[in-house]
Amino acid sequence: MTLIAERTETAVDLALTVDQGGGVAGLAATVSIRDGATDGSYLDFSDMTFKAAGWITKAAALTDLGGGHYRRALDLTAVTNLPSGGELSLEFTATGAVTAAARESLLLVASFLDIPAQAAADTQAAILSDATPFAGADVAAILADTDSLDTTKITAARAASLDELDAANIPADVDTLLARLTALRAANLDELTAARLSELDAANLPADVAAILSDTNAIKLRVDGELVDVAKFLGLVIGDPVTHTPTTITAGARTWSVGIVGSTITVSRLT
């Protein structure tokens, strides 16, 4: 188990529970605190200083709360040389009716909003090291991209487009869309099925145009009970030469010029 405490905490709860099918009370329980970065630097509770030798009180007594529970409060601000590393090792012992030993880690943080406390230089080296997934090259690239946001990424046009996504604009835009999407227009949109849109494929259009031209050429007019094509009808009206100079035909307020050259019929409106 790991405890977490801010480095400025004045009452860190150091607790030990001894249980053998029920709490064991009446034991002589102590705690020693070792700098987790070392093998032999322990806190001397007599002067609240970490040292490697010459301790007066290396193991401090815990208060017996009954029921097998023992505790002691630790004031971190009273430690004269609190290690810069982020971890302390809590080493518990209990003697008496039973003998027990336990170990627990105390993780120190500058603030519960911060990462575990460690030297600033080590933190920077860990972040910028190419040995980590978030490498120094990545940081440089991120900074470069951030610097270029104003000039190359967030242009004036893009900024204006983003402004359109403002909460005040979207409802008005939706209202405008709904007002324009009348029932008639909605029905027309419903006609745009995938099957009908596929008819506009490049492979279909030439065939469709050819069919229209074929249908147009096949138009027949009934003359004296006989169905004749348009060219023959005009031939009956204005003569049927292979080549015919334009003839003027008046119909109502309109005047037309009609000419035939081979199989080509030219019709032009004059007035």
Task: With cut-offs at 50, 70 and 90, classify the pLDDT of residue 232.
Answer: low
pLDDT tens column, 119-166: 555 656 655 665 555 555 667 777 777 776 666 667 777 777 877 777
pLDDT of residue 149: 66
pLDDT higher than 50, residue 117: no
The pLDDT value given to residue 74:
96
Question: Does the predicted model carry a pTM greater than 0.85?
Answer: no
pLDDT in tens, 176-230: 888 888 888 888 888 878 777 777 777 777 776 777 666 665 556 565 556 556 6
Buried b / exposed e over 143-175, threshold 16 CB at 10 Å, is: eeeeeeeeeeeeeeeeeeeeeeeeeeeeeeeee
Domain boundaries, the chain: 2-109, 205-269
12 — pLDDT class (breaks 50, 70, 90): very high
Greater confidence, 116 or 254? 254
Domain 2-109 has CATH 2.60.40.10: yes
What's the residue count for the chain?
A: 271
The mean pLDDT value for 95-123 works out to 75
